[in-house]
Structures are given as C-alpha cells and as structure tokens.
Amino acid sequence: MKFVSIDASTKDMAFAYFVNGKPIKYGKLEFGGSDIYGKVMDISVKVKAFYNRFDDVEHMIIEAPVYINSPQTAQYLSMTHGAIVGAASLSGIRYVRNVVPMTWQGQIGNPKLSKEEKDKLRNKAPNKSNSWYKNQERQIRKNKTIYIVNNKFDLNIKDNDIADALGIGLWATEKWDLVCEKT
C-alpha cells in the first residue's frame, strides 16, 4: 500500500507519502506565478518533478474542492486541481481518488462541531459576528486535526495543511478497500 495524499490550494500543495499505513515523507510545495495561468504552469512543473521522486506510487488521494461562494475562486481551484492531477499522471500516478473534507475528517475522529460545542463557543465569546464564530469553529477543527495526526503518527506537525494531508492519508489507510474500489 503506497500512495500520496494531497491537500491543495491555489497557493500550495501539502502532501503525505504513505507506505503500509505510515507517513514516510510529508511537507508542502509552494506555487509561484503572477496570475492563475502562471501558477498552473508552475504547478505542472513542480508536481511532475515531485512525483518523479517516487518510483512505484500509483495512487493519489486528493481533497475535493468544497463549495465556494466565489465563482472565480472555484474556477481557480478547479484549474489548480486539474494541473496537479495532470502532472501526477505524467509521472506515473494511475489512480486518483478524491474525498470531501467532511468525509475524511469525520472518519478520523473530527466531525462537525456539535450544537453544544457551538453554543459553548458563543457563550464563551458573546456578541461576535457569525463570520467570527465560523472562523473560530474552523480553527478549532484544524487544531483537532493537528492533534489527531500528531497523536496517531507520533509527530510534531504545526502546519494545518500538512496535518490535513496526513489526515487524508489516515482516512485512505483506514478505507483502502474503498479507495481502490473507486479508482
């Protein structure tokens, strides 16, 4: 069982390379470019070079882009994900599976905050805006993912994107039959 799990954005790509259920390498590739087309070209070069370092990896699990209110952001995410998958395929990746954030997060023990947890946050910091509460909820969950992967793999990760890549890999390890079935 060898695969790379990916948490990608328009700015960077966090990754975790797993062998037999254990993360062997993990980190982040930063993307350059003065506009989205420059970024896509940079992504193509860097991701192809990245995957060329792995001889026998055929599977990639990537976090699916989530719904975003901005059509431009959705377009840019689609372009970056396409560049990542295209470059990976040129380097030997044969199977790609995506997973929505709530699926992998829930599976590793980090489900949506309960009503009680949300109420506790609102009671602790009253009279804040809805967007403030949403940002705090997102930060709580990011910190929980960091805690989960650090505990599971005996690591000291501080970057939430790298922790997400490791969390996606943890999900894939636990759901390997499902991952292979869908590819």
Q: How does pLDDT run across 111-163, given as a tens digit for each residue?
A: 999 999 999 999 999 999 989 999 999 999 999 999 999 999 999 999 999 99
| Whole-Å CA distances, 179 to 14, 76, 127, 159 | 19, 26, 44, 25
Predicted pLDDT of residue 47? 94
Whether 182 shows a pLDDT value over 60: the answer reads no
Q: What's the pLDDT score for residue 24? A: 95
Q: Given this model, what pLDDT does residue 141 score?
A: 94
Whether residue 17 contacts residue 4, with contact meaning beta carbons closer than 8 Å, is answered with yes
What the block records as the tokens of 8 is: 């990608």
Torsion of CA 79, 143, 23, 81, to 10 degrees: 0
Query: Does position 164 have pLDDT exceeding 80, yes or no?
Result: yes
Contact 173, 152 (CB under 8 A): no
E strand or H helix that includes residue 54 = none
Coarse DSSP helix, strand, coil percentages of the chain, rounded to the nearest 5 percent:
55, 20, 25
Residue 36 pLDDT grade (very low, low, confident, very high; cuts 50, 70, 90): very high
Rounded to an integer, the average pLDDT of 19-44 is 95
Asked if the model's pLDDT at residue 183 lies above 70, the reply is no
Q: Is the pLDDT of residue 71 over 90?
A: no
Q: What is the predicted pLDDT for the residue at 44? A: 93
91 pLDDT more than 60: yes
Which pLDDT score, from 0 to 100, does residue 175 have? 84
Global confidence as pTM: 0.92
Phi, psi of 63, rounded to the nearest 5 degrees:
-70, 130
Name 167's Cβ contacts closer than 8 Å, sequence gap at least 6. Answer: 104, 105, 108, 110, 145, 148, 149
- Residue 36: closest CA among 70, 83, 69: 83
Q: What is the per-residue pLDDT for 63?
A: 95
Q: Which of 47-56, 94-103, 143-152, 156-165 has the lowest mean pLDDT?
A: 47-56
Bridge partner list, 7? 14
